[in-house]
A = this chain, B = another copy of it.
Amino acid sequence: MGRYTINEIAEICHTSPATVSRVLNNPHLVAEPLRKRIRKTMEEVGYRPNPFASRLSSRSGWGLALFVFDILNPFFALIVRKIGHLAMEQGIPLTICDTENNEEKEKMFLDYLLDNQIGGIIFGEGISAGTIERAMDSTETVLIDRHLKEGLVSEVTSDNYRGACQAVEYLYQLSHRRIGFIGGPESWASVEERFRGYRDTLERNGIPYNPALMFRGDLRFESGIGALEYFLTLPEWPTAIFSANDQMAFGVLTKAKAMGIDVPGDISLIGFDDIPLYSLYSTRLTAIQQDIDALCENAFRIMMEKLNGTPEEGPKDRVVVPTRLKTGETCGKCSRP
């Protein structure tokens, strides 16, 4: 525990508490030799500033929070893990808010955080716009893999559009022409981007967009199953399916196996995310890989800049992280007309 106080350090060094405080917060205001002496003493006695006193005095917020809508989803679990480590390295407490896709819970978490003068909040995809906007009024915010009104918020996203293009382009190269798409709720901007990428790439290759080949899921495993069932009711089955995330892709895969449909023999399948956990499955999924570490590092860096830096109100940062194609065993040359 923080045994020593700033006063004791001051006494030992024959200086004043004010100066000691300065070497902590504005080192350049203290002359070199004195600064070194104070630093050394702190080191020796193992001085730790009392965070409560410091916050009370400076009236600034403390700590970060991370909102995710489903911690059981490995994509978010990885984000939680990564941000958790980044925060710890900087000595910043991180509160995880798992909203379970429930606006009521979002509100409770947010109220509670604002009461406690949180320093900043990082929001993941799937959190309602209302909650984010309310947070923005009172604290620093960064969005990770989530898009809100242009230019208003700092956000870090994968290049969802380009990623989707890569996926469809790849299937096109494999001679697929009837490509199904499994999307998500319209409110998820990042997933809508993938849809745009899908549609544009088709059209760029001279294939008109066919709404019958678009199935809206909810990004969960089960909707993958539903999607495949739907596609099989079509007079002409798609020869390939692009799923907006891995979980649904695995729904497709599982259902296909259960029905004796061969992947990629009968249908090719490509996912989005490339979650390492899914190596559990006996079949390695081909997918567009998101660089989760880069996503988190950028979001965290921007947050730190906001917390430390001058509160200049310029245009908000916007970082786009590239994706890459990770080939697995679920895509093959098209075998049907």
A interface residues (Cβ-Cβ under 8 A, vs B): 1-2, 48, 50-53, 55-56, 62-63, 71-72, 74, 77-78, 80-81, 84-85, 88-89, 91, 93-98, 100, 105, 108-109, 112, 114-117, 138, 221, 250-251, 254, 257-258, 277, 280-282
Shortest distance in angstroms between A271's beta carbon and chain B's nearest beta carbon? 14
Known: A1-B114, A116-B93. A257 touches B277 (CB 8 A): no
Q: Can you offer 15 A-B residue contacts whose CB atoms are under 8 A?
A: A1-B115, A1-B117, A2-B115, A48-B115, A51-B116, A53-B56, A71-B80, A72-B277, A84-B97, A88-B108, A89-B108, A91-B112, A93-B116, A94-B96, A96-B96
CA–CA, A72 to B109, complex, Å? 23
Q: A77 — which chain B residues lie within 8 A by C-beta? A: 71-72, 77
Shortest distance in angstroms between A73's beta carbon and chain B's nearest beta carbon? 9
Query: Are the CB atoms of B98 and A52 closer together than 8 Å?
Result: no
Query: Are the CB atoms of A98 and B71 closer together than 8 Å?
Result: no
Q: Which of A100, A109, A115 has the most CB of B within 10 A?
A: A115
Q: In the complex, what residue of chain B is closest to A48 when comparing beta carbons?
A: B115
Query: Are the CB atoms of B56 and A52 closer together than 8 Å?
Result: yes
Contact residue among B62, B74, B138, B254 (Cβ-Cβ distance under 8 Å from A282): B254
Q: In the complex, what residue of chain B is closest to A51 when comparing beta carbons?
A: B116
Known: A71-B77, A72-B277. A112 touches B88 (CB 8 A): yes
Q: Which of A50, A96, A115 has the most CB of B within 10 A?
A: A96
Q: A63 — which chain B residues lie within 8 A by C-beta? A: 93
Q: In the complex, what residue of chain B is closest to A257 when comparing beta carbons?
A: B282
Shortest distance in angstroms between A150's beta carbon and chain B's nearest beta carbon? 28
